[in-house]
């Protein structure tokens, strides 16, 4: 049995979120929480909140034991790109891509 939590339209690039996802994949929920609390990355705060949500889903919706939970899957897919324009020299305009992510965390029992 597994429980999921999704976080859509996070205003962080999926490449940056993926680095933090790799840190917690395969770890127990308690260990992953400790890692996220001590990681100085922008993505660690939303991922910590998402991890707690996935653990709560497992406990309340599926009746799993919170002590036995571990992060079985975690991944960040690209969301829509917000396109902005930056004025440059001689009347040119460069595009700025503000990327978003859809993050999923799956927890399961050991």
The pLDDT of residue 1: 86
- Mind listing the pLDDT tens digit for each residue in 3-31? 999 999 999 999 999 999 999 999 999 99
Instruction: Say whether pLDDT at 106 is over 90.
Output: yes
The pLDDT of residue 50: 95
- Mind listing the pLDDT tens digit for each residue in 46-96? 999 999 999 999 999 999 999 999 999 999 999 999 999 999 999 999 999
The pLDDT of residue 27: 94
Instruction: Say whether pLDDT at 103 is over 90.
Output: yes
The pLDDT of residue 110: 87
The pLDDT of residue 75: 94
Cβ-defined contacts of 53-60 (< 8 Å, 24+): 53/5, 54/3, 54/4, 54/5, 54/105, 54/106, 54/107, 55/3, 55/29, 55/107, 57/3, 57/4, 57/5, 57/107, 58/2, 58/3, 58/107, 58/108, 58/109
């Amino acid at each position: 049995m597994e429980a999921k939590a999704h976080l859509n339209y996070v205003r962080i690039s999926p490449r940056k979120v993926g680095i933090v996802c790799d840190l917690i994949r395969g770890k127990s929920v308690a260990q992953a929480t400790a890692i996220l609390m001590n990681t100085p990355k922008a993505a660690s705060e939303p991922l910590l909140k998402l991890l707690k949500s996935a653990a709560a889903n497992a406990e309340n919706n599926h009746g799993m034991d919170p002590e036995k939970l571990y992060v079985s899957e975690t991944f960040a897919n690209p969301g829509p790109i917000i396109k902005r324009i930056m004025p440059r020299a001689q009347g040119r305009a460069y595009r700025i891509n503000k990327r978003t992510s859809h993050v999923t965390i799956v927890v399961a029992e050991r």
